[in-house]
Amino acid sequence: MRPAREGGIPVRVKNSYNRHAPGTVITKTRDMRKSILTSIVLKSNITMLDIVSTRMLGQYGFLAKVFSIFEDLGISVDSVATSEVSISLTLDPSKLWSRELIQQVKTWDLIPLLCSVLSQQYCLALPHCCVFLSMLLFHCFVVMMWQELDNVVEELEKIAVVHLLQHRSIISLIGNVQRSSLILEKAFNVLRRNGVNVQMISQGASKVNISLVVNDSEAKQCVQALHSAFFENGFLSEVEEADLAQNRVPVLVSSNGAINGN
């Protein structure tokens, strides 16, 4: 994508399962005047950490201490919401899993050798050996991943009170920077009607991406309700009518029938 971006070349992303669909065009600039929300993205199976300083006021360097722990452990953070004495953040376990795979790639290289030894020593079929060892290594990596999360919590608990919340999802609303208040208003009304409480909200400096954290069990219902509200029920036309009403020039009619415009 970098050469296309640097050269100002539009890129069209197509669907291989539906080649007649127009797809999505990625360009350097876009007219966002009529755009409210452009996409909704769901990321499931997220771990959330609530970190509260043990000192409630004036905790100098608290944020630096927290993020230095993640840096020392080599763990990246997805979304963050902060105050002076508390931090809520999300971690993607799949990233920990991917990193463990990379670090342990030499172990995977041993599978063919181990399979050969098992098949010769115990007269096991080679495919059965491969399946057995792959499952064993998978289990080991999962255990290592959870141990790493435990290490994170243990280090953080030296400076704060930590709550580890699993089975969460991030719903990202990608939209118009100038319409962020409208997007939030509509989104929270939809979630309220569906009985969903947002546990964390994060919005970056660009204001393009608004992230909401909810329970995994509620995530799909939320995405469906938000998609219906923003893309299926004429929401854009409602907004356009409201804008027209706001910009409409007031007209006064006098008692003798004369029309005066302000």
Q: Could you tell me whether strands 259-261 and 209-215 are parallel, antiparallel, or unpaired per DSSP bridges?
A: unpaired
- pLDDT bin (cut points 50, 70, 90) of residue 212 is very high
Kindly list the distances between the CA atom of residue 254 and the CA atoms of 137, 144, 248, 249, 262, in Å, as whole numbers in the listed order: 85, 80, 19, 16, 13
- Segment 126-138 shows an average pLDDT of 57
- pLDDT bin (cut points 50, 70, 90) of residue 257 is very low
- Confidence (pLDDT) at 214: 96
- Confidence (pLDDT) at 23: 85
- Confidence (pLDDT) at 246: 56
User: Is residue 73 a contact partner of residue 151, using CB atoms and an 8 Å limit?
Assistant: yes
Q: Could you tell me whether strands 11-13 and 24-26 are parallel, antiparallel, or unpaired per DSSP bridges?
A: antiparallel
Kindly list the distances between the CA atom of residue 114 and the CA atoms of 12, 100, 101, 117, 136, in Å, as whole numbers in the listed order: 46, 20, 18, 5, 12
Kindly list the distances between the CA atom of residue 17 and the CA atoms of 38, 73, 218, in Å, as whole numbers in the listed order: 22, 41, 29
| 75/44: higher pLDDT | 44
Distance CA 94, CA 141 (A): 11
- Confidence (pLDDT) at 228: 92
- Confidence (pLDDT) at 259: 44
- Segment 14-31 shows an average pLDDT of 84
**Shortest CA distance to 46 belongs to which of 100, 95, 101?**
95
| pLDDT exceeds cutoff 90 at 109 | no
List CB contacts of 104: < 8 A, sequence separation 6 or more. Answer: 137, 141
Share of the chain above pLDDT 70, in %: 64
List CB contacts of 25: < 8 A, sequence separation 6 or more. Answer: 10, 11, 12, 13
pTM for the whole structure: 0.69
- pLDDT bin (cut points 50, 70, 90) of residue 169 is very high
Which residues is 25 bridged to in the sheet? 12
Kindly list the distances between the CA atom of residue 158 and the CA atoms of 52, 67, 94, 120, in Å, as whole numbers in the listed order: 11, 13, 26, 51
Per-residue burial over 78-111, b = 16 or more CB atoms within 10 Å of its CB, e = otherwise: bbbbeeebbbbbbbbbeebeeebeeeeeeeeeee
- Segment 228-239 shows an average pLDDT of 71
| pLDDT exceeds cutoff 90 at 139 | no
